[in-house]
Amino acid sequence: MSSAKLVAESGKILDAASKDAPLTVRGLTVSYGNKPAVFSIDASIPVGSMTAIIGPNGAGKSTFLKGALGVVPRLSGEVRIFGKLFEDARDRVAYVPQRASVDWDFPARVIDVVLMGLYGSVGLFRLWRARHREQAMECLERVGMADFAERQIGQLSGGQQQRVFLARALAQNAEFYLLDEPFAGVDAATERAIVSVLKELKTEGRTVVCVHHDLSTVAEYFDRVLLINVRRIAEGPVETTFTAENLQETYGGRLAATHIDELHLA
Amino acid sequence: MIDNLITALGAEFVQLSLTPILIGILAAIACALPGNFLLLRRQALIGDAISHVVLPGIVAAFLVTGSITAVPMMLGAGGAAIVAVVMIEIVKRLGRVEPGAAMGLVFTTLFAVGVLFLEITDTSSVHLDVQHALLGNLESLIWFDAEGWGSLFDPEALATLPPQLPRLAIVLVGIGLFIFLFWKELKISTFDAAFAGAIGIRTRALGFALVVATAVAAVAAFDAVGSIIVIAMFVCPPASARLMTNQLGRQVGWSVVFATISAVLGYVFAGYGPGWFGSPYAVSAAGMIATVSGVILLLTCLFGPQRKRTGQRAEA
């Protein structure tokens, strides 16, 4: 079979199977320099699910998200968001980058960052208006940060910064939320606040995908997992896929057996 | 006292000092505006780089055309700026080095090439030398036909304004419009490029447009005031402004204020300052403007309300 035919066939499969799926990925490969960060990954995220992307450091979890959204260039692979190219479904997606990827010394207040999430509803050559401020305040309310609206972002704790990022994503009023390590380095109160907002989103029928590090909370927070280590190891419901075998394969023996025993595995 | 002031701001002032001061202000603001974003993107060095590579550009333009009229000079400078940006990009990608290293490599090399060009060619017949390139000739941009403030309403006199003045005014309007119209996009992509890309802002094109605006400001200002002031104005007023406020809009406003103060005080100190100490000579206005901007930065470092910040550095 020629490779051109392969591409065409996989394209057909994507179009047929993914009309409603928030995210369908076939053969996603992204490389930094000569080394692939993620290699030929397939994934399919169903509507209304909460999926944790799990894998060791350097496994390409963040790169998978960025590649799927075209934030970093793809070497190959096809991606459909609700059956469309990302460019045509952008306003249905909210992406929350890693908190540490931005300079919090930037001259902005909390409200300014949340207003960035309303970019799509402001219009070309126009500025944010009063009704945008009201919407942004409602989003800050939902993450418990309304009192900090006028605060300079550099004065926030890590957990507060993460909540501001989540509020910015809420302001986008998307159907599909992709979060890169939302629980990294946050305090317990923030973690509870974020989980409760994410579960609200799920209740509203929205879809959530998180790059997640803490294996001990996977079963509690999520209903699906995508295990990757450069390649895809496994994908499916927590009950059937979040198993000791799959974790061993994902972490390549780097996970102590005693650690695995403590997890609430299937 | 008031008589003194009126004399000081009389016909002679309009003829000799008004246009250099205005040109200094326009050049300072045109550089400070994009400088705000360069600073926050940690690309402040690119202004430095571009203002250095302007030198080989204008020397090359002189060698080709044999004249130092404005249009070939500006084209040469603009061409060199584009060459430099492309070279920086090539070094960055092929060498896999950080942007600062690539810029440092490219602009020192090109500046050296420019100096070499100057040394081995005969430019003695024209006013083109390293001194001129660095410090410009702000003091010489006088308004010969002005007879007083009334000349501002005299079309004939206005026609003899130094051409740098309207040129810089147009450049400043262009840069101001660019920043005003793409305010949201510039703000979002400067703060969080990955998020900006995901919501559909064309971050690469915008970054390139910012560099083009920087190059246009550098080239237009260079012609009037030399590269020292250009480098200083890209960095000092925005850096001082950052220490005054925690809001981007106010920072840009403060940078305009500081750029204006630097230009006015620098010119006045250069022209009259030595006289206050009994010296009959004046010092370079461009050098003094840069010095004042540096002093303002020092003062804001010491006394600016936002000089102590707790924000974390980006890790990536």
Cβ contact (<8 Å) for A90 and B199?
yes
Rounded distance, CA B10 to CA B162, Å?
19
- B→A contacts (Cβ < 8 Å), by residue, are 40, 96, 181, 183-184, 187-188, 190-192, 194-195, 197-201, 242, 245-248, 250-251, 306, 309-316
Query: From the candidates B177, B183, B195, which should be mutated to test the interface with A, based on the most A CB atoms within 10 A?
Result: B195
Alpha carbon A129 to its chain centroid, in Å, reads 29
Mean pLDDT for the stretch of residues B71-87: 84
Which of B41, B180, B191, B251 to mutate: most A Cβ within 10 Å? B191
Task: For residues B191 and B207, give the distance between their C-alpha atoms in angstroms, rounded to a whole number.
Answer: 13
Q: Give me chain A's average pLDDT, please.
A: 88
Give the tens place of pLDDT for each residue, B84-114: 888 888 998 888 888 788 888 888 899 888 8
Can you tell me the distance from the alpha carbon of A40 to that of A230, in angstroms, rounded to the nearest whole number?
8
| Interchain proximity B200–A98, CB inside 8 Å | no
Q: Choose among B183, B198, B312: nearest Cβ to A71.
A: B198
The share of chain A scoring above pLDDT 70, in percent, equals 88
DSSP letter for B9, please.
T
Work out the average pLDDT over A260-266: 66
CA distance A23 to A81: 5
So what's the pLDDT on residue B125? 63
Picking from B201, B310, B315, the nearest residue to A100 by CB comes out as B315
Question: Which residues in chain A are closer than 8 Å to B184, comparing Cβ atoms?
Answer: 116, 119, 122, 127-128
Classified as helix, coil or strand, A52 is strand
Instruction: Please write the tens of the pLDDT for every residue from B81-92.
Output: 888 888 888 998
d(CA A258, CA A255): 8
For the purposes of burial, counting CB atoms within 10 Å of the CB of A227, is it exposed (0-12), middle (13-18) or buried (19 or more)? buried
Quick one: which of B61, B24, B68, B67 has its CA closest to B237? B24
Q: Are the C-beta atoms of residues B255 and B240 closer than 8 Å to each other? A: yes
Instruction: Give the Cα separation of A54 and A187 in Å (integer).
Output: 21
Does B198 sit within 8 Å of A95, measured CB to CB? yes
Q: Is residue B119 part of a domain?
A: yes
Going by pLDDT thresholds of 50, 70 and 90, the confidence category of residue A82 is: very high
Whether B194 sits inside 8 A of A95 (CB atoms) is yes
Count of domains for chain B = 1
| Contact check, Cβ <8 Å, B195/A97 | yes
**Percent of chain B's residues with pLDDT above 90:** 38
Neighbours of B269 (CB within 10 A): 18
Closest residue in A to B246 (Cα) is: A107
A4 touches chain B (CB under 8 A): no
Q: Kind and range of the H or E element at A40?
A: strand A35-45
User: Is residue B62 situated within a structural domain?
Assistant: yes
Half-sphere exposure of A37 (CA within 13 A, CB side): 19
A153, A86, A87: which is closest to A114 by C-alpha? A153
What band does B124 get if pLDDT is binned at 50, 70 and 90?
low
Among A residues 138-197, those touching chain B with beta carbons less than 8 Å apart = 152-155, 168, 172
Residue of A23, A63, A64, A102 to mutate, interface with B, max B Cβ within 10 Å: A102
Is residue A7 predicted with pLDDT exceeding 50? no
Asked if A8 has any chain B CB less than 8 Å from its own CB, the reply is no
Tens of pLDDT, residues B206-218: 998 998 899 889 8
Q: For A205-236, write each residue's pLDDT tens digit.
A: 999 999 998 999 999 999 999 999 999 999 99
Contacts of B195 in chain A (CB under 8 A): 95-97, 116, 168
Average pLDDT of span A152-165? 94
Mean pLDDT, residues B229-247 taken together: 93
Chain B interface, mutation test: which of A23, A103, A125, most B Cβ atoms within 10 Å? A103
Residue B309 lies in a domain: no
pLDDT at B60: 86
- Put simply, the chain A residues between 106 and 125 with a CB less than 8 A from any chain B CB are 106-109, 112-113, 116, 119-120, 122, 125
Q: In what order do the strands lie in the sheet with A93-96?
A: A93-96, A176-180, A207-211, A50-54, A224-229, A231-237
Q: Do B197 and A70 touch (CB under 8 A)?
A: yes
Q: Do A66 and B195 touch (CB under 8 A)?
A: no
For residue B308, tell me if it sits in a domain: no
Structure token digits, residue A38: 């993620």
Tell me what pLDDT residue B311 has: 44
Q: How far apart are CA A92 and CA A132, in angstroms?
A: 18
pLDDT in tens, B6-57: 666 777 788 888 899 999 999 999 999 999 999 999 888 888 888 888 888 8
Closest by CA position to B196, among listed B216, B210, B217: B210
- A residues 28..57 contacting B (CB < 8 A): 33
Residue where the block lists tokens 């490969």:
A29
Q: How far is Cα A20 from Cα B116, in angstroms, rounded to an integer?
A: 65
Q: Which of A175-189, B2-16, B116-130, B156-170 has the largest mean confidence?
A: A175-189
Within 10 Å of residue A216's Cβ, how many Cβ atoms?
10
Confidence of residue A5 (pLDDT cuts 50, 70, 90): very low
CA of A152: which chain B residue's CA is closest?
A: B246
* Owner of token pair 């230009």: B263
Chain A residue numbers touching B202 (CB-CB < 8 A): none
B311 domain residue, yes or no: no
Task: Establish if B310 belongs to a structural domain.
Answer: no
Better-scored residue on pLDDT, B147 or B113: B113
- Tell if the CB–CB gap between A103 and B309 is shorter than 8 Å: no
pTM over 0.90: no
pLDDT, mean of residues A35-44: 92
Identify which has the larger pLDDT, A37 or A5.
A37
Residue of A42 and B114 predicted with greater confidence: A42
Residues ≥6 apart with Cβ < 8 Å to A146: A137, A140
CATH number of the domain that B251 lies in? 1.10.3470.10
**Read out DSSP for B147-191?**
-SGGGGG-HHHHTTS-THHHHHHHHHHHHHHHHHHTHHHHHHHHH
Indicate the pairing of strand A224-229 with strand A231-237: antiparallel
In a domain, B312, yes or no: no
Report pLDDT for A54: 95
* Domain of residue B99, residue span: 2-303
Residue B2 has pLDDT above 80, yes or no: no
Q: What is the pLDDT of residue B11?
A: 76
- Is the pLDDT at B67 greater than 90, yes or no? no
Does residue B32 or residue B71 have the better pLDDT? B32
Question: Does B227 fall in a domain?
Answer: yes
Mean pLDDT, residues B238-265 taken together: 96
Residues of chain B neighbouring A121 (CB-CB closer than 8 A)? none
Q: How confident is the model at residue B315 (pLDDT cuts 50, 70, 90)?
A: very low
Q: Which of A66-80, A169-183, B223-237, B276-290 has the highest mean pLDDT?
A: A169-183
What length does chain A have? 266
**Nearest 5°: phi and psi at A244?**
-60, -40
Confidence class for position A71, pLDDT limits 50, 70, 90: confident
pLDDT at B4: 61
| Inter-residue contact A245 to A71 (CB < 8 Å) | no
Chain B positions in Cβ-Cβ contact with residue A67 (cut-off 8 Å): none
Residues of A in contact with B97 (CB under 8 A): none
Cα separation, A257 vs A29, whole angstroms? 31
Task: Indicate yes or no: CB of B314 within 8 angstroms of CB of A100.
Answer: yes
Mean pLDDT within B259-278: 89
Closest to B85 (Cα-Cα) out of B210, B264, B243: B210
Interface test with A, best of B199, B247, B254 (most A CBs within 10 A): B199
